[in-house]
Amino acid sequence: MITLLKKCDNDHWAKWFQIALDLYQSGKVSKSYSKVLGAYGGMGSFNDVFWNLSKQQHDRLEYLKGAVWTYAKKHS
């Protein structure tokens, strides 16, 4: 997902999820899940962004967005 976010020049969200990944990899799993879930919902959230990607990339990103949220929600 981070790679796709970088492809569409969305540095803000790429950095956001990189921080979540770094937290996860450093053993701060709860903080990682909180960071992920904090991206979704509300005005100007991750859900509100227009993605300048090909159809295939867009579909992949949408799938990953849902999978990441579901995983974080399930484990938080």
Mean of the pLDDT values across residues 33-49?
A: 91
Query: Measured over all CA atoms, what is the biggest interatomic distance in the chain, rounded to whole angstroms?
Result: 35
Q: How confident is the model at residue 43 (pLDDT cuts 50, 70, 90)?
A: confident
Q: Is the pLDDT of residue 44 over 90?
A: no
* Beta carbons within 10 angstroms of residue 63's beta carbon: 11
* Beta carbons within 10 angstroms of residue 21's beta carbon: 16
Note the pLDDT tens digit of each residue in 3-19. Answer: 999 988 889 999 999 99
Domain range annotation of the chain? 2-75
